[in-house]
Structure 1
Amino acid sequence: MTALDAAALRELTDSGTGPRLVDVRTPGEFEAVHIPGSYNVPLDLLREHRRELSTHLDEPVVLICRSGQRAAQAEQALASTGLPGLRVLEGGINAWQAAGIPVRTGRARWDLERQVRLVAGGIVLVSILVSVVFPPAKWVAGFIGAGLTFAALSGTCAMGMMLARLPYNRGPRTDLKTVVGALGGAPRW
């Protein structure tokens, strides 16, 4: 992974000759907060249509997500198309905001990680309480624990992917035609 820190990316974008900024978070996450001038191409859409998208990315690209993990996955997917000049914003939008660099904000939403903690914690709590009356319910807590362990080790989270599909997290519809249309135009600096 070729990383770029927030300060270096800001210098590039301020120069007016900066790279194309592609944010791979869900449309809901993007709507809540994003770097001005960035384009939202959700990771699942990017993976599915990486060849077509790569033909519209003819300049250097910096991939952005919340913390850098999804952007690294997007980098791997786009690298398989032979697209050169890919970089990942180190620390993601979190690092950008921590550096005090301006962002564009919209409707506030809970990020997916916080939603996963709420749902997983709620399921574990309920299953433990139910296990007092129905002992096999304790295995539900074990299943959730195993899933969270796998998520940490693999860098993927099935619960997060499912929660991302909920209407609350979708935000405005993002489809291939809209994304390609936006990428075909001049960068929005």
Structure 2
Amino acid sequence: MPSPALRRALTDPGEPPLRPLPDEVSALLEKLSAPPRLAAHLRAVHDVAHSLAAWMEKRHPEAGFDREATLFGAAVHDIGKTIHREELSGPGSAHEQAGYELLVSQGIEVNRARFARTHAAWNAEVGVEDLLVSVADKVWKAKRVTDLEQLLVDRLTVASGQPSWEVFLALDDLLDRIAADADGRLAFQASHPVDG
């Protein structure tokens, strides 16, 4: 039985309203007795990933990204913090490999578990889905990372054949709109306890 605090983090609508996590992920967080703050964080990033995915489908259908993988990745990217709880309120990267191993041990396919590792270690070899999860994990709190965003622009420029500046401006506009709601998402996360 999940704690009342975890249940609240998974079901509280939030302001602005946040989409719920996929049932599979909510059930896994309950099984692992995840910290409520982690569940709240995953909801915020997952919600932003929905906005990014909708934009991709509308503006860059030629990119051929996997929407469901992107959303799943956003929903589980920090799951290793169920093991490395100290990284909920402090720096650290031990949760990345631990999260990948945890997901695989729970029967999640390697290709879906990879987001626990790639969300913070993006590079030229990762897929568009991984870049989208990484961007969502930054912009949910209005953090902009130029090198990361440029990797995504480069991928979309190649896929679309559009000028790089045009892709950049459209993405920049989207990220500015998403970042405008960061205070609400930060307040939602902060309203849920680290322990509970």
Return the structure number with greater helix share.
2
Under a length normalisation based on structure 1, what TM-score does the superposition of the two structures give?
0.28
Under a length normalisation based on structure 2, what TM-score does the superposition of the two structures give?
0.28
